[in-house]
Chain A
């Protein structure tokens, strides 16, 4: 069974540019989460999808970040325009159902804004 897959693994962009991160959850997992770790800080929650609906987006930093999950399958996280402080590792996780089921994490996308 394939795990959670994230693309790209690394991205280096200039300030002001747009970047789109993609996450493919484990097949059949309704719950999809985005997290971010800024260098030297803890991993922080960004948002939670249940199927195609945003369940909780309280962790999104500002309106430069837009997350979508079309059809309840893969998800994208777009940053437009990117700022220097957006640099960090973006993790995606999925779980089969809400509750204390294990959340499976992807390898993360390392975003560097220069």
Chain B
């Protein structure tokens, strides 16, 4: 069975600093991986997805993630944080039954 671990339930960065949100997965088959974001009082929005094409995936709002099979990781990065990036971020892996298995979420706080 697939599983996802997000290291750090809370991450705080200064505006303009690098954002790094960590995600490690466990999967017995080549995984399909996703990052979702939830802004306050909104639903989950897809940031980006990895579907076995390019290992570096670019998403919306300047975010990108790199799939590293050897490390079973799919970390999310953004070179320069904006105040508007403050939200909760979820890493997920798609299971054989097409449902998603989520990590515990990481709440990103951006300090001015």
A contact set with B: CB distance below 8 Å:
3-4, 31, 33, 35, 41-45, 48, 55-56, 58-59, 91, 93, 98-100, 102-108
Chain A residues within an 8 Å CB radius of B70: none
CA distance A21 to B99 in the complex (A): 20
B97 close to chain A: CB less than 8 A: yes
Q: How distant is B48 from chain A, measured CB to nearest CB, in Å?
A: 10
Residue of B nearest to A50 (CB): B98
* Number of A-B residue pairs having CB atoms within 8 Å of each other in the complex: 53
Q: How many residues of chain B are within 8 Å of chain A by beta carbon?
A: 22
Residue of A nearest to B6 (CB): A42
Asked if A48 and B99 make an inter-chain contact with CB atoms under 8 angstroms apart, the answer reads yes
Asked if A105 and B45 make an inter-chain contact with CB atoms under 8 angstroms apart, the answer reads yes
B46 close to chain A: CB less than 8 A: yes
Asked if B46 and A43 make an inter-chain contact with CB atoms under 8 angstroms apart, the answer reads no
CA distance A59 to B48 in the complex (A): 25
CA distance A55 to B96 in the complex (A): 12
B90 close to chain A: CB less than 8 A: yes
A-B contact pairs, 23 of them (CB 8 A): A31-B98, A35-B102, A42-B103, A42-B105, A43-B90, A43-B92, A43-B102, A43-B105, A45-B99, A48-B98, A48-B99, A55-B98, A56-B97, A58-B97, A91-B43, A93-B44, A99-B98, A100-B51, A102-B49, A103-B46, A103-B100, A105-B36, A107-B41
B84 close to chain A: CB less than 8 A: no
